[in-house]
């Protein structure tokens, strides 16, 4: 699984996800930190990456454009430091790995995760 972390998440998550066997990049490694979300989505789509973000705009863009991809994982927790976030994210990413490959929007908070198949209509 290829993951692309948005600028609002710590690059330290890359090592934690790599330990799980996932190829993980932070947007700062591949693009302009001030790039619009639409450019990040386009890059992820063309490079077969799943966007992991703490930003609501990605889901809104997917809904407005009715795009079939890329998959997006929206983290809606208050505390996004890596050692607190990884134990929440890793089980969800494992559970929905096949769906993420097909195109979904997953919203995760401290107690639950919700999944929507793309495109959102």
C-alpha 108: how far from chain center: 10
SS3 assignment for 36-99:
CHHHHHHHHHHCCCEEEECCCHHHHHHHHHCCCCCCEEEECCCCCCHHHHHHHHHHHHHHCHHH
pTM of the predicted model, to two decimals? 0.96
16-45: pLDDT as tens digits: 999 999 999 999 999 999 999 999 999 999
80-117: pLDDT as tens digits: 999 999 999 999 999 999 999 999 999 999 889 999 99
30-84: pLDDT as tens digits: 999 999 999 999 999 999 999 999 999 999 999 999 999 999 999 999 999 999 9
């Amino acid at each position: 699984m290829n993951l692309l972390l948005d600028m609002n998440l710590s690059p330290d998550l890359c090592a934690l996800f790599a330990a799980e066997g996932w190829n993980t990049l932070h947007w700062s490694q591949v693009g302009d930190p001030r790039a619009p979300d639409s450019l990040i989505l386009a890059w992820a789509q063309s490079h077969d990456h799943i966007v992991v973000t703490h930003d609501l705009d990605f889901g809104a863009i997917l809904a407005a454009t009715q795009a079939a991809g890329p998959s997006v994982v929206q983290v809606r927790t208050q505390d996004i430091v890596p050692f607190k976030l990884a134990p929440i994210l890793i089980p969800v990413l494992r559970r929905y790995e096949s769906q993420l490959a097909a195109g979904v929007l997953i919203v995760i908070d401290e107690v639950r995760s919700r999944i929507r198949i793309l495109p959102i209509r």
